[in-house]
Amino acid sequence: MSRSYIRGGTLAVTSVVVALSLAACGGGDDDSTPVVVTPVAPVPAAPAAPAGVGFEDTAPVANVTTVPPFVDNVASNQRGDARFATMDTNAGVRVLSSFLDVWKPSSLIVDAGVTAPANGNFPAVTPSTWTGIPGDATDGTKLNATVLDANIQYVINTTRTRTPEQALIAYLDDRRGKAYSVTDALGPLTNAWRTAAQQTTTINDVPADATTVLYNDGGNNIGVGGTANPTFGTVIDLLGTMGANASTEPAKRFYKYARPFRWSTDVVVLPALLPARSSTPATDGGFPSGHTAEAGRNTLGMAYIVPERFQELALRGVEMGQSRILAGMHSPFDVIGGRIQSIAAVAANLNAATPATRKAAYDQAHTVLMAATNTTTLADFYAAAHASTSTTDRFADYSVNKANNLRWMTFGFPQIGDTTKPAVVPKGAEILLETRFPYLDANQRRIVLKSTALPSGYPAMDDAEGWGRLNIFDAGGSYGAFNGDVSVTMNAALGGFNARDSWVNDIKGAGKLTKAGTGTLRLTGANTFAGGTEIKAGTIEAGANKAFGNGDVYVGGGTVLADAPSAVTIGGNYTQLAAGALQLRLASDTSSRLSIAKTATLAGTLTVTFANNYRPAIGSTISLLSASTVNGTFSNVTVTGYRVTPVYTSTGVQVRIDG
C-alpha cells in the first residue's frame, strides 16, 4: 500500500514541519486525507536549468585539398598500376603515412616485386632491389631505432610466453577463414549467425602433424550470399563488399618492412606454422598485416549489421592483431597498420553502399537472428545477445575487453610525437556508428569518434586524416567528453537503442547533457562533465555513483531513475519541477540514494522500489536524499509494498516504514 502525506509547503522552520507531519500521520491506517502543512515562509524560486557552455562541439574533416579523403579515393588502392604507385596517389599507402616517422623504406614506390608500364604522365614501375632481409644493403632505414627495436622485442617476449590457449587461438586465426574465426565475438549469437550464413570451416584444432600448414581450410569463410541464401544472403553480400579496394598488398610493397622472424631469430614462430613462412621475403613484407586488416573489415562490417555486439566485435578485430603477434608472424606496427586500413576500408565501403542496401542487410539479420533466439522485440534480442557468462562467452567481461582493447591498440609504445594535437575525424567515418547510435545525427556521431580518439603522439597512428587515432571500441560506448553541449532525443516507439541505451564511458568536459524524447538513457561511467544535466522528457538512469558528473541536475519533465550500487552523487544543485519524477531503486542500505552537494528543490513525484531481495524492516527509517539545503516537498511519495511516512528535514528526505 502507498500513501502520500505532505503536499506543498516549505521547510524553512524544519522542526515544526517534521513534528506536525509525524503527529498528524502517525503511521495509522486512515490515509484518505493527506496532511497539508501551511508554509511558514515563502517557497524559494526554483533555480534555472544549467546553462552549459552554450555551444555544440564540431568535428570538421581535414582540409580535403591538402588531405585527400580516403573514402573518396579508395579505388586508388592498387598495385601494378603506375598511376597509383606513390604515397600521394595511393590512398591505401597514404593512410599509413605516419609509419614514415619511424621507418624509411628503401624506395618510396609501390615496387616490391611489382612491374607496371607507364601510364600517361606516370612513369613505369620496375621492381625494387629490396631483398626482404633486414640489415642488408637494400634495406630501409630505421629513423627511430628505439621504437623499432621495441617493436620486435614485443614479439620476442610475447612468443616466448604464450600459453597453450593463446597458441590455439593464434593457430586458428592464422589458418581458417577470417570471417568464420571472428564470429565467436557474437557470443550467444555465434551459432545462429554461422547457421544463417551457411558458414563452414574444416579447421578446428592444431594438427598433430605440425608439417601440414597450408591455407587448406575447406570451408567457405564468409558464408553464402545472394539468391543461394535467400534468408541471409543480403547480409553476406553487404559484408562481402567490405573488402572492395581493401588489399594490404600495395602498402606492403611500398613500406617494405620485414616480418619479425626475419628481424630476430629470437622470435618463436608457432611450430605448427613454421612451414607457412614465405620463401620469397622480397614480396612478403610485414607492414601492414593482411590478416588483421581482413579480420577488422569483417568485424566492423558485422558490428554495423549487429550493433548489439558492437564493442565485442570491434575488440575481436583488434584481437586478431594480437593473434598474429602470438603466432610470431607479425609485429605490433604490422597489426597497427592493418587495423587502420580496415577502419578506413569499412567506412569507405559502407558509404559506397546505398542506405537501402545497408538497411536491408540490417533488417534481414535481425529478422533471422531474432527468430533464432525466440525474441520478438529488440530489447529482448539485446538481452539474448548478452545472455552468457565468461565461461561461454570470452567477451562477456566489459572491463577486461576495455583493457585489452587499449593494450592491443598501443602495445605500450611511448608517445614520441606532439601529444597536444586535437583529434581529427576523417570524412565519412561517422557511418561506422550509424546503427550503434541511431538517435544521434551524423555530426554527433563524429563528435563521439573525436571525443574517444586516442591521444596524439603514438608512433604510426598520427595520419593527417585521423584514421589512426580512432578508437572504435570506446566509440561504441558513448561520448568520451562533452566539449560542447549535447542534446539527445530518443524515440522509444522505434525500439532498440532508440528506446534504451547505456553510455558506459567516463565522460569528461565542460558541456551539458540534455535528454529529450521518450526513450531511456543509462549512464554508468565515472563521469566528470561539469555543464550539468537537464531532463526534459523520457528517463535518465544513473547507474553509477558519478553518473551525473560534477554539475547541476534539472528535472523539468521526465524521470531520473537512480539504480546504482552506491549513492548517486550530484556535484551541484538538484531541481525537480512539478512535471518531473524521481525513482530510486534500492538494492541495499547504501545504494541509489541521492547525495546532493548543494541545494535540492523538490516538487513532482518520488517512487521507491526494491531490488536484489532487499527489504527494509517495519519501523525503520531509511534515508533517500541528502543535500546542503532542502526546499519544497514531493507532491507524492510512493514506496512499493509499504505504508510510509515521509520525513523532511532541512538537509534531507527520509521515509519511515510504517507497514
Q: Which residues contact 612 (CB under 8 A, 6 or more apart)?
A: 587, 588
Q: How confident is the model at residue 397 (pLDDT cuts 50, 70, 90)?
A: very high
pLDDT tens figures, 370-383: 999 999 999 999 99
**In the chain, what are the domain boundaries?**
14-52+488-657, 70-473
Phi first, then psi, for residue 413 (nearest 5°) are -65, 145
Q: How confident is the model at residue 2 (pLDDT cuts 50, 70, 90)?
A: very low
pLDDT tens figures, 545-594: 999 999 999 999 999 999 999 999 999 999 999 999 999 999 998 899 99
pLDDT tens figures, 323-368: 999 999 999 999 999 999 999 999 999 999 999 999 999 999 999 9
Q: Is the pLDDT of residue 213 over 70?
A: no
CA 331 to chain CA centroid, Å, is: 25
Q: Is the pLDDT of residue 49 over 80?
A: yes
Q: Is the pLDDT of residue 42 over 90?
A: no
Distance separating alpha carbons of residues 400 and 258, to the nearest angstrom: 32
pLDDT of residue 212: 58
Q: How confident is the model at residue 37 (pLDDT cuts 50, 70, 90)?
A: very low
Beta bridge partners of residue 652, listed in sequence order: 626, 649
- Residue among 15, 214, 256 at smallest CA distance from 113: 256
Q: How confident is the model at residue 211 (pLDDT cuts 50, 70, 90)?
A: low
Q: How confident is the model at residue 29 (pLDDT cuts 50, 70, 90)?
A: very low
Cβ atoms of residues 324 and 288 within 8 Å: no
User: To the nearest whole percent, how much of the chain has pLDDT over 70?
Assistant: 92
pLDDT of residue 39: 45
- The mean pLDDT value for 449-473 works out to 98
- Listing DSSP states for 236-256 in one string gives HHHHHGGGTT--SHHHHHHH-
**620 is written with which cell numbers?**
525503520
pLDDT of residue 214: 62
**592 is written with which cell numbers?**
541509489
Angle 338-343-347 from CA coordinates, rounded to 5°: 145
Tell me, which fold does domain 70-473 have in CATH?
Answer: Vanadium-containing Chloroperoxidase; domain 1 (1.20.144)
Q: Best-predicted range by mean pLDDT among 38-47, 206-215, 269-278?
A: 269-278
pLDDT of residue 33: 40
Looking at 353-440, list the stretches that DSSP marks H as alpha helix, in order from N- to C-terminal side.
355-372, 378-385, 398-410
Question: What would the 3-class secondary structure string for 282-316 be?
Answer: HHCCCCCCHHHHHHHHHHHHHHHHCHHHHHHHHHH
Cβ atoms of residues 102 and 460 within 8 Å: yes
Q: Is the pLDDT of residue 18 over 80?
A: no
Distance separating alpha carbons of residues 83 and 77, to the nearest angstrom: 10
- The mean pLDDT value for 209-217 works out to 65
Q: Is the pLDDT of residue 44 over 90?
A: no
pLDDT tens figures, 487-499: 999 999 999 999 9
Distance separating alpha carbons of residues 622 and 454, to the nearest angstrom: 44
- The mean pLDDT value for 461-488 works out to 98
pLDDT tens figures, 69-118: 999 999 999 999 999 999 999 999 999 999 999 999 999 999 999 999 99
**225 is written with which cell numbers?**
550470399
Element housing 646 (H / E): strand 644-649
- Residue among 481, 473, 491 at smallest CA distance from 512: 481
Mean pLDDT of the chain: 92
- The mean pLDDT value for 503-531 works out to 98
Q: In what order do the strands lie in the sheet with 644-649?
A: 568-570, 594-596, 621-626, 652-657, 644-649
Q: Is the pLDDT of residue 254 over 50?
A: yes
pLDDT of residue 23: 34
Cβ atoms of residues 136 and 114 within 8 Å: no
